[in-house]
């Protein structure tokens, strides 16, 4: 008897500040959210690949060919971004497994549920992220 995807089982559930942080239900919720996101990316990249293969027929026109090369470069960059995102999603799922998910890598403090909801692969709290970005900006401006 199938009850649909893990996310469907939890669709009426919303993590709340009132419950213990990263209790089993929250961890299950974020795991399902991450896996659903990963599935969506993989589905999109399959479509991208099919489109690339269909467009791969020879373009007799040089301008068409150049435009198709540009499209391909854009597609490949997008796929590279997707690969990086998938590895971040996998890393987040791994953190759920070893109970470190939801805690800031820098301070060890809980990352707000609002931030995790918006960016489930977050590894830094908002404050730590802002410090991190300020430091990066300083390096860039030098």
Domain presence at residue 6: no
Residue with tokens 């213990």: 20
Instruction: Name the pTM for this structure.
Output: 0.77
List Cβ neighbours of 46 (8 Å cut-off, separation of 6 or more).
none
Structural domains of the chain, count: 2
Q: Give the pLDDT confidence of 102-118 residue by residue, as tens digits.
A: 999 999 999 999 999 99
Domain boundaries, position 119: 104-142
Say if residue 39's pLDDT is above 70.
yes
Q: Assess whether 110 and 91 both reside in one domain.
A: no
95, 119: one domain? no
The whole-number pLDDT of residue 69 equals: 74
Structural domain contains residue 69: yes
Instruction: Quote the pLDDT of residue 68.
Output: 72
The single residue listed with the structure tokens 């692969």 is 121
> Has residue 54 been placed in a domain?
yes
- Residue 133 placed within a domain: yes
Are 96 and 113 part of one and the same domain?
Answer: no
Same domain, 88 and 36: yes
Of 79, 74, 105, which is closest to residue 92 (Cα–Cα)?
105
């Amino acid at each position: 008897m199938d009850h649909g995807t893990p996310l469907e089982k939890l669709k009426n559930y919303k993590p709340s500040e009132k419950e213990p942080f990263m209790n089993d239900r929250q961890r299950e919720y974020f795991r399902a959210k991450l896996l659903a996101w990963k599935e969506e990316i993989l589905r999109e990249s399959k479509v991208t690949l099919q489109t690339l293969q269909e467009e791969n027929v020879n373009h007799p026109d040089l301008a068409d060919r150049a435009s198709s090369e540009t499209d391909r470069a854009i597609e490949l960059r997008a796929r590279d971004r997707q690969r990086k995102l998938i590895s971040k999603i996998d890393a987040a799922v791994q953190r759920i497994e070893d109970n470190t998910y939801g805690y800031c890598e820098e301070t060890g403090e809980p990352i707000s549920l609002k931030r995790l909801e918006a960016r489930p692969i977050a590894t830094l709290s908002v404050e730590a992220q802002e410090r991190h970005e300020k430091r990066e900006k300083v390096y860039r401006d030098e």
